[in-house]
């Protein structure tokens, strides 16, 4: 095989990876089975490492494959597997098509930046604070947030337009789906990173991957000593410089005939442009064993109790502004016209945010979640929303169960099935139904039945276990009563409660998830079929 075909193979692989990864991050119809989704994210380096830390098993060995690939062939990950890397290539390609051809040239490495950004997340982690450095810099998670937070709403908007057109033609192949905008502040990080990526890829090729990306730098340390490296053959080289012009990593010095393989992202453009076959993979003399990467450890404590009531007003208003200017989003739900005659007065006292089922508790979740938002995209009810400071600022962007947006569907376990980092561990449907994320609390004084003597029962109606049930009250009225032991903390009651500004029923999250007791079962007498109608 001629090495020139390496580029073709790389491009095919890259397209497969970016299309598949991008699609699972914007899909809202659950078109891919979860096993396929797990396969697509299997090789993502940081999530795989984190999953391995919490659960040493075959499904978490993706990063080992990446390390082996790197030890043999350099940073194959960066051009063929990493969706953010491929995304930059796509952006550069678009730029090339729209403006004059861009010429790259050799540049010196920015060592301080590189190793600074590699060390920083570990310092933050090891000083016992948080995963924030890793989650903000992990390329897969950055890509995830750009696609999930910014592109999914656009995809939904396009889908809804198209579905509307098809429906008017009496075709129901597509269906419209509500767009649930996240709070405005949560758009700042993905928008900033998207901007940075566009700027870097338009002007400096893969500068991002060689200065900011800690995965790139880490794999670069290994590729420096890999078995095969791209090198220049002095006898054949005419110093025409075509390879350097094609090198988006700016790592080929024609003057010295050297390739800085630690910065090479493995795109193979140089091999394919060289007219003399003077640059190619060669067996490196004196290659040594690959060093083990530092294993992640440490713990994060979410700082302080959270005050979710305060954030409400400001943030939702900002929702459309930042990222989606130009689009008018439809009203977010049918729940906008809530009116109780007397405003409720008692504010729910929430001690902890609620983490998704399978995440074991706040500590496990916040120390493993890189905030890639794959679960946010996959969640069919949009109850999973990026947090701002629910977990403290150090957990920004990590999703939490937002019961003002929606509630967790009792029978659904999709977030636990797709999570690539082990932050949300796999649950069975039965296991989910007995996992208690938090416990129901009732403020009877806020309840519309109690305060205004009118029938409601919305909370009990939504409750899958009858942890809130309606018991006889005045006349024909029924009043909610809670049985916290059988509550799963799904938030259906809180979401459904119609009173404002404060709910009469809410879920207070558990620091560590508990086991919910199963509801009591009492057999009913079957009716007599022979009996006449009672009318």
Partner 1 sequence: MKRRDFFRKGLGAGIAAGSAMAISPYGKLFAGGAAAVAYDLVAVKGGEPGTMFDQAIQSMGGIEKYVKRGQKVVIKPNLGWDTTPERAANTNPELMARIVEHCLAAGAKDVYVFDNTINEWTRCYKNSGIEKAVKDAGGKVLSGKSKGSYHEIAVEGGRSLKKVQVHELILESDVFINVPVLKSHGGTVLSISMKNLMGVVWDRRWWHANNLHQCIADVTTVVKPDLNVVDAYRVLKKNGPRGVSVSDVVTMKSLIITEDMVAADTAAAKLFGKDPNQIGHIRIADEMGLGSMDLSKLNINRIMI
Q: Interface with partner 1 by CB under 8 A: which residues?
A: 29-30, 160, 164, 167, 170, 172, 175-178, 330-331, 334-335, 337-341, 380-381, 409-412, 448, 452, 454-458, 460-466, 469-470, 476, 478, 496, 498-499, 519, 521-527, 529, 532-535
513 membership: H or E segment, kind and range:
strand 505-515
Go through 406-426 and write b for each residue having 16 or more CB atoms within 10 A of its CB, e for each that does not: bbbbeebbbbbbbbbbbbbbb
Which lies closer to partner 1 via its Cβ, residue 235 or residue 522?
522
Which lies closer to partner 1 via its Cβ, residue 287 or residue 478?
478
Which lies closer to partner 1 via its Cβ, residue 61 or residue 381?
381
- How near is the Cβ of 497 to partner 1 at its closest, in Å? 9
**8 A C-beta contact, residue 467 and residue 482:** yes
- How near is the Cβ of 121 to partner 1 at its closest, in Å? 36
- How near is the Cβ of 523 to partner 1 at its closest, in Å? 6
258/421 Cα distance (integer angstroms): 38
Which lies closer to partner 1 via its Cβ, residue 93 or residue 175?
175
Q: Which residues contact 208 (CB under 8 A, 6 or more apart)?
A: 88, 196, 197, 200, 201
453/445 Cα distance (integer angstroms): 12
Which lies closer to partner 1 via its Cβ, residue 229 or residue 462?
462
- How near is the Cβ of 474 to partner 1 at its closest, in Å? 13
234/288 Cα distance (integer angstroms): 24
433/402 Cα distance (integer angstroms): 19
Q: Output the CA–CA distances (angstroms, integers) from residue 352 to 142, 166, 228, in the order listed.
A: 27, 45, 51
Token output for 467? 């942890």
Which lies closer to partner 1 via its Cβ, residue 265 or residue 384?
384
**8 A C-beta contact, residue 24 and residue 377:** yes
- How near is the Cβ of 469 to partner 1 at its closest, in Å? 6
Which lies closer to partner 1 via its Cβ, residue 292 or residue 523?
523
Which lies closer to partner 1 via its Cβ, residue 326 or residue 534?
534
Which lies closer to partner 1 via its Cβ, residue 112 or residue 535?
535
Q: How many CB atoms lie within 10 A of CB 320?
A: 18
- How near is the Cβ of 37 to partner 1 at its closest, in Å? 17
**8 A C-beta contact, residue 415 and residue 378:** yes
- How near is the Cβ of 246 to partner 1 at its closest, in Å? 47
Helices 62-73 & 214-223 angle (0-180, nearest 10): 50
Which lies closer to partner 1 via its Cβ, residue 344 or residue 366?
344
DSSP state at residue 290: P
- How near is the Cβ of 343 to partner 1 at its closest, in Å? 11
364/369 Cα distance (integer angstroms): 9
Which lies closer to partner 1 via its Cβ, residue 252 or residue 449?
449
Ramachandran bin of 371, using left for φ above 0, alpha for ψ from -120 to 50, beta for the remaining angles: left
Q: Which residues contact 417 (CB under 8 A, 6 or more apart)?
A: 34, 37, 38, 426
Strand ranges, E, within 201-242: 228-232
| Residue indicated by tokens 């008018």 | 328
- How near is the Cβ of 528 to partner 1 at its closest, in Å? 10
Ramachandran bin of 222, using left for φ above 0, alpha for ψ from -120 to 50, beta for the remaining angles: alpha
| Residue indicated by tokens 């519309």 | 448
- How near is the Cβ of 427 to partner 1 at its closest, in Å? 17
76/267 Cα distance (integer angstroms): 8
- How near is the Cβ of 478 to partner 1 at its closest, in Å? 7
């Amino acid at each position: 095989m001629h090495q020139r075909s390496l580029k073709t193979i790389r491009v095919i692989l890259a397209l497969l990876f970016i299309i598949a990864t991008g699609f699972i991050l914007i899909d809202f119809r659950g078109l891919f089975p979860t096993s396929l989704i797990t396969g697509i994210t299997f090789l993502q380096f940081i999530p795989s490492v984190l999953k391995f830390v919490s659960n040493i098993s075959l499904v978490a060995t993706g990063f080992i494959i990446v390390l082996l690939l790197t030890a043999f062939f350099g940073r194959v990950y960066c051009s063929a597997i990493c969706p953010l890397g491929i995304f930059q290539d796509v952006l550069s390609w678009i730029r090339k098509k729209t403006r004059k051809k861009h010429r790259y040239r050799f540049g010196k490495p920015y060592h301080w930046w590189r190793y600074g950004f590699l060390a920083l997340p570990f310092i933050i982690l090891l000083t016992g604070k948080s995963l924030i450095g890793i989650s903000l810099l992990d390329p897969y998670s950055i890509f995830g947030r750009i696609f999930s937070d910014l592109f999914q709403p656009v995809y939904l908007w396009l889908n809804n337009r198209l579905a509307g057109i098809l429906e008017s033609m009496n075709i129901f192949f597509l269906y419209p789906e509500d767009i649930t905008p996240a709070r405005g502040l949560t758009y700042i990080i993905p928008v900033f990173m998207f901007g940075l990526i566009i700027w870097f890829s338009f002007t400096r090729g893969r500068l991002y991957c060689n200065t900011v990306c800690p995965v790139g730098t880490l794999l670069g340390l290994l590729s420096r000593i890999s078995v095969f490296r791209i090198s220049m053959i002095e006898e054949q080289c005419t110093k025409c410089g075509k390879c350097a012009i094609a090198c988006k990593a700016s790592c080929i010095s024609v003057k010295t005939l050297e390739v800085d393989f630690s910065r090479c992202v493995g795109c193979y453009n140089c091999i394919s442009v060289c007219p003399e076959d003077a640059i190619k993979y060669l067996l490196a003399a004196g290659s040594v064993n690959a060093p083990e990467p530092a294993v992640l450890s440490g713990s994060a404590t979410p700082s302080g109790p959270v005050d979710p009531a305060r954030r409400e007003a400001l943030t939702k208003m900002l929702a459309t502004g930042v990222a989606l200017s130009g689009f008018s989003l439809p009203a977010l739900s049918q729940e906008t016209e809530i009116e109780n005659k007397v405003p409720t007065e008692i504010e729910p006292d929430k001690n902890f945010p609620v983490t998704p089922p399978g995440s074991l508790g706040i500590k496990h979740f916040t120390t493993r979640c890189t905030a890639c938002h794959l679960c946010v995209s996959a969640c069919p009810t949009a109850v999973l929303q990026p947090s701002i400071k629910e977990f403290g600022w150090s957990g920004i962007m990590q999703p939490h169960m937002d019961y003002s947006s929606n509630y967790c569907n009792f029978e659904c376990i999709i977030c636990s099935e797709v999570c690539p980092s082990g932050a949300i561990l796999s649950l069975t449907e039965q296991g989910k139904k007995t996992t208690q994320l938090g416990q129901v609390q009732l403020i009877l004084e806020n309840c519309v039945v109690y305060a205004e003597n009118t029938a409601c029962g919305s909370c009990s109606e939504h409750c899958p276990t009858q942890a809130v049930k309606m018991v006889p009250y005045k006349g024909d009225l029924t009043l909610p009563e809670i049985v916290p032991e059988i509550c799963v903390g799904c938030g259906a009651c809180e979401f459904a409660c119609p009173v404002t500004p404060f709910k009469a029923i809410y879920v207070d999250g558990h620091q560590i998830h508990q086991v919910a007791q199963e509801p009591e079962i009492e057999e009913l007498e079957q009716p007599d079929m022979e009996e006449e109608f009672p009318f």
